[in-house]
Structure 1
Amino acid sequence: MSTPDPFSPARLGPLTLRNRLIKCATFEGATPDALVTDDLIEFHREVAAGGVAMSTVAYCAVAPEGRTDRHQIWLRDEAMPGLRRLTDTIHAEGALAAAQLGHAGPVANSVSNRAKALGPSGIPAPMGMSVTRKLDSDDIAAMTATFRRAARIAVDSGFDGLEIHCGHNYLVSCFLSPLLNRRRDEYGGSLVNRARFAREVVEAVRTEVGDEAAVWAKLNMYDGAGRFGLGIDDACAVAQLLEADGHLDAIEPTAGSSLLNPMFLFHGEPPREEFANAFGGTMRAGLKVAAPFFLKHYDYHDTYLLPLAQRLRGAVRMPLILLGGVTDRTSMDTALAAGFDFVAMGRALLREPDLPLRIQADPTTASRCVHCNLCMPTIYTHTRCPIRAGEVPDPLGI
């Protein structure tokens, strides 16, 4: 079969997207009161106007304790008017709107949230310098219902797609990890047991929204913890279970861990000093010491997650969204030729929100993103490309 044109319309579940490009979920740092702001709306309006088919709003927590800090949206009735303004704005630019539904679990900041961080077991929650509270079976059932309620709020607020966060050792992802899930009940031990929570959450969301929205999962392939953590073989088996259940329209493979190895998701130069300076007190001091071990260096190259994702591509037949190092027409074509149905873009759109339109007009267009990762620490103030903002010199001299 010929390689699809990345700029041709494509089906994702009940949706028709104007092309195969999706703005991936990257926390915008634009919700200081945990509600939609004009800054958040403009962030996504600009991306939607720049040519992607769908812009994903992150991070939409399903519960207040599920935020990485209290300056994040959590899905409740109070948030709906602002969310409707946001989705209406994205739609006015011809794009669709997606909400990333998630619970941070041990990545949550319990001090900021003023609520205990949660996990499958009692494991470290470093953002709050604490240990998680282990969910019991009643808690798990209640959390599944919480995801279902959040999905309803999102769809009633105008979102066309729902991305269920099963990556980066957030709560659902933690249950998948043999390193972090130390349970001995029906939610721990074997892979089928460790995948039970993820499958129940996905089923609950699909049951709630039916064909009112596309539903996909951001699924970890590898958390960067070596042989003790989640690996690609287990990830392929989880994907097969999710495919057999029949509740998802797609999977977006991801990698890395906000707890154990965050740079495996991003690749490129780790901004160690800038990350430490984004915090104060004990956290800053700890990061300065631990940064060389925690923020590791992985060489950047285009489509850097493709080798792992191809393993998952071979395990399932359902649509897949390739994430990681998609910056130009060549990387788009490479992904689609490898059997992926959509591509997700992140950092390159922070640098140039209109990059898709420019690539469509001229396929030789090169991204001006230099993969310096200086955008990463800006999530604590207002997510942006410091080069585009004029805060640091452009190494390309443009």
Structure 2
Amino acid sequence: MKYSNIFSPLKVKNMTIKNRIIMPPMGTNYASQNGEINSDHIKYYEQRAKGGTGLIIVENAAVEFPLGSNGTTQLRIDHDSFMPALYKLTERMHKYGACVAMQINHSGASAVPDRIGCQPVSSSNIPSKTGGAVPRPLEKEEILNIVEKYGKAAKRVQTAGFDAVEIHAGHSYLICQFLSPIYNKRDDEFGGSIENRARFARMVIDSVRAAVGPMFPIFLRISADELLEGGNTLEDTLKILEYLNEEVDVFNVSAALNDSLQYQIDNMNLEDGWRSYMSRAVREKFNKPTITTGNIRNPEVAENILSEGHADLIGMGRGLIADPNWVLKVKNNAEDTIRKCLSCNIGCAGHRIGLNRPIRCTMNPDTINEDEYKKLRVKKQTTVVVIGGGTAGLEAACTAAEVGCTTFLFEEKPYLGGLAKEISKLPDKKRISYLPEYLIRRAEGLSNLVIYTNTKADIKAIENLKPNVIVNATGSKPLLPPIKGLLERIDKSEENIYSILGLLNNMDKFEDAKDKKVVVIGGGAVGLDVVEYFAEKKAEVSIVEMMPMLGRDLDVITKLSMMDIIEKNKVNVHTGTALVEVASDHFKVKKDEKEQNLDFDYGFVCLGMRSENPILSDLQKHFAEKDVEVINIGDSSRTRKIIDGMAEGRDVILTLEKIGSI
């Protein structure tokens, strides 16, 4: 077998996992308001079990409520009333041969006061993140009470039909708040030395083992390296685990704390499997199975990690959100159809942590129902014409063709993929290329989808195709306001002033940018991408933003990463500052009525994007009386994120329903 290690079983106590791919616990905000699992939530997990995943570890469930809860709709396991619905989940998972575990947790200082209605608790009075709520140190009697709650919760997990239980001891939650010297400032038997800081975790493990018996597997999730100054290093953690090793069957080796979140929920530019060395260190010292995670997208990478002894199980979290059928596709030699996660963190971490929304996915427009739309079929001959071959247009065209429409797509460029393909030219954004590559392969496999590249759509050509639906997906162009000197200088061959497209079309010119003065106007996503590119080339970079902060609309992971890059590379930041004039070698800017010149070797104006829909109004007028539905999607409707255009592309189904084709 090509991937013999991936598809070998693993026995842990009385549980046998059929392959080495696991879905680690990730919050979803899918649970009901009372903390009970519901039908949509079960269906979400069912898709991943159906797709061949060996073990699914269900997202963290609170052992105490409200003190132990985090998130807006978190699962609970603090009362017997939650067990019947959880049994329905395990029953469903087992039908597909998947093993299923549940992570149990107490959030401690990571709880939000407004949500729990009281002050959070912790080992000490140190917030779990910069700017977080100040917690109250737990009394000894309270600690013992929480230990008992972990045991009761684990027994519920076992009784509800789960195959294993995972104790969360990382990621800035309560047990981690005792283990980490960043948080634990106690001077009693629960603080100070490594042995004392490990005491609470040791008691929890013992409480869980007493509750579930000797043959029920116990997993322990840890932040092996906290990746913060003053925090536990990998070497420290290996010493801590000497006190925790007994009765733990599998170590789930993760990393980071809240203030280093971009290394916990991996940023896009981190390599596949980048933290597997941590797992190997734990595995070699304790001779127990370990799980590693970290941007693992390709089966070759997973197979190598296993064959080289870095880990025994591969945790693929966001990858299985993007494609729940990853395992079956690898097993059936259909790797080229995998929707590989971009690590964009927009619909998963960005929705859940930053916006308190249920998770979504850029690559996968329906994380709950997956490909059920493909069961639909048009009831009558229906022709769909799509204008624009970016990601939104490709998704619309593929979806329409997949339900039986005769579909035509016009793209005036010689290639497909739109802005996503362009942005992926930036080294740290190369994963974005996964999306257009996947969509193009998908399109190429549809015989009823005809694509015209190098072809500008016009009304006559469209009318000749006798469309029932026209999808306008013509994207966006850089926003260039009428600032003095801008329009006559930007992207001109004799000037050194560029838009984002000017950068992407002249990458060779900027290969050696060390010590060059670079000034970027615009502190949104695009401007920060340019800053990242040149900061890592050791240019002398400045960024100008009219608003009081940078990256206002970024997801939480990307923003943390960008701010870290700015700090480490000493980027000069000018917020509350407006561009007033563009010269050939400097920008004139104004702050608080004071003007100054910012000199540059290369200047970039990245003030966002504007919708580009050159023939939309003509289409609407021409086809208004012809019983043709004209819809406008993606950036050509309103400039937003790729995830929004992808969702609108899939929603062509709703238009087909509206006109009675489905």
TM-score, normalisation: structure 2: 0.53
Match of 1:304 in 2: 274
Q: 2:313 aligns with which of 318, 342, 347?
A: 342
**Which residue does 1:373 correspond to in 2?**
345
Answer whether contact 2:62 2:74 (CA < 8 A) is retained.
yes
Provide the rounded CA distance (Å) in 2 between the counterparts of 1:16 and 1:61: 27
Residue in structure 2 matching 1:238, options 237, 240, 259: 240
1:193-232 Cα shifts (integer Å, max 9, x gaps):
1111111111110111014531110011122212x11111
Within 5 Å, give how 1:1-398 maps onto structure 2: 5-33=5-33, 34-64=35-65, 65-75=67-77, 76-124=79-127, 130-211=133-214, 213-226=216-229, 228-243=230-245, 245=246, 247-258=247-258, 260-269=259-268, 299-339=269-309, 340-362=311-333, 364-365=335-336, 367-374=339-346, 375-379=348-352, 380-389=356-365, 393=392, 395=420, 396-397=435-436, 398=439
The 2-side partners of 1:37 and 1:191 are apart by 41
| CA distance in structure 2 between the aligned counterparts of 1:4 and 1:132, rounded to whole angstroms | 48
- Distance, in Å, in 1 between the alignment partners of 2:55 and 2:210 is 23
Query: Which SS does the other structure have where 1:32 is aligned?
Result: coil
| Alignment partners' CA distance in 2, 1:137 and 1:315 | 32
> How many equivalent pairs are there?
363
State the distance in 1 between where 2:145 and 2:255 align.
Answer: 28
For 1:186 and 1:24, how far apart are their aligned partners in 2?
33
Conservation of the 8 A alpha-carbon contact between 2:13 and 2:215: no
Question: Deviation string for 1:71-130 (max 9, x for gaps)?
Answer: 212111121111111111111122111100111111111211223311000122569953
Distance in 2 between the 1:69 and 1:382 partners? 10
Q: Which runs of 5+ in 1 are unaligned?
A: 270-298
Classify the secondary structure of the residue corresponding to 2:264: helix
Which residue identity lines up with residue 101 of structure 2 in the other structure?
A: A
- Distance in 1 of aligned mates of 2:343 and 2:123: 34
Cα distance in 2 for residues equivalent to 1:266 and 1:69: 16
Amino acid at match of 2:322: R
2:366, 2:28 → 1: CA distance? 18
Judge conservation of contact 1:59–1:73 (CA < 8 Å) in 2. Answer: yes
Question: Which residue of the partner structure matches residue 613 of structure 2?
Answer: none
**Cα distance change of structure 1 residues 113 and 180 upon mapping to structure 2, 3 Å threshold:** same
SS in 1 for 2:22: strand
- Gap change, CA 1:261 and 1:128, over 3 Å in 2: closer
CA 1:117/1:179 → structure 2, altered by over 3 Å: closer, same or farther? same
Q: What is the TM-score normalised by the length of structure 1?
A: 0.86
Runs of at least 4 residues off by over 6 Å: none
**Which has the larger displacement, 361-370 or 167-176?**
361-370
- Letter aligned with residue 61 of structure 1: A
- Specify the code of the residue in structure 2 equivalent to 1:87: T
Pair 1:300–1:381, CA change in 2 (3 A): same
The structure, 1 or 2, with the larger RCO (C-alpha pairs under 8 Å, 6+ apart) is 1
Shift of 1:315: 2.3
SS state of the match for residue 359, structure 1? helix
**Letter paired with 1:46:** Q
Query: 1:276 matched to which residue of 2?
Result: none
- Whether the 8 Å contact between 1:105 and 1:171 is mirrored in structure 2 is yes
Looking at structure 2, the residues matched to 242 and 123 of structure 1 have their Cα atoms a distance apart, in angstroms, of: 24
Aligned to 1:292: none
Q: Deviations over 1:332-366 (max 9, x none)?
A: 11221232211111011111000111011228545
Distance in 1 separating the partners of 2:103 and 2:319: 19
Distance in 1 separating the partners of 2:284 and 2:323: 33
Match of 1:286 in 2: none
- Provide, for residues 144-171 of structure 1, a one-character-per-residue CA deviation record: whole Å limited to 9, x for no partner: 0010010011111111111100011100
The answer to whether the 8 A contact 1:144-1:200 is kept is yes
3-state SS of 2:219 partner:
strand
Percentage of identical aligned residues? 28
Change (3 A) 1:19 1:130: same
Q: Secondary structure at the match of 2:104?
A: strand
Larger Rg: 2
Q: How many Å apart are 1:376 and its aligned residue?
A: 1.2
Q: Is the 8 A contact 2:321 2:361 kept in 1?
A: yes
1:367 shift after superposition: 4.9
Correspondence for 1:281: none
Query: Are the counterparts in 1 of residues 62 and 68 from structure 2 also a CA contact under 8 Å?
Result: yes
> C-alpha root-mean-square deviation of aligned residues, in Å?
2.1
Contact 2:329–2:335 at 8 Å: present in 1 too?
no
Mapped to 2, the partners of 1:363 and 1:195 lie a distance apart of: 46
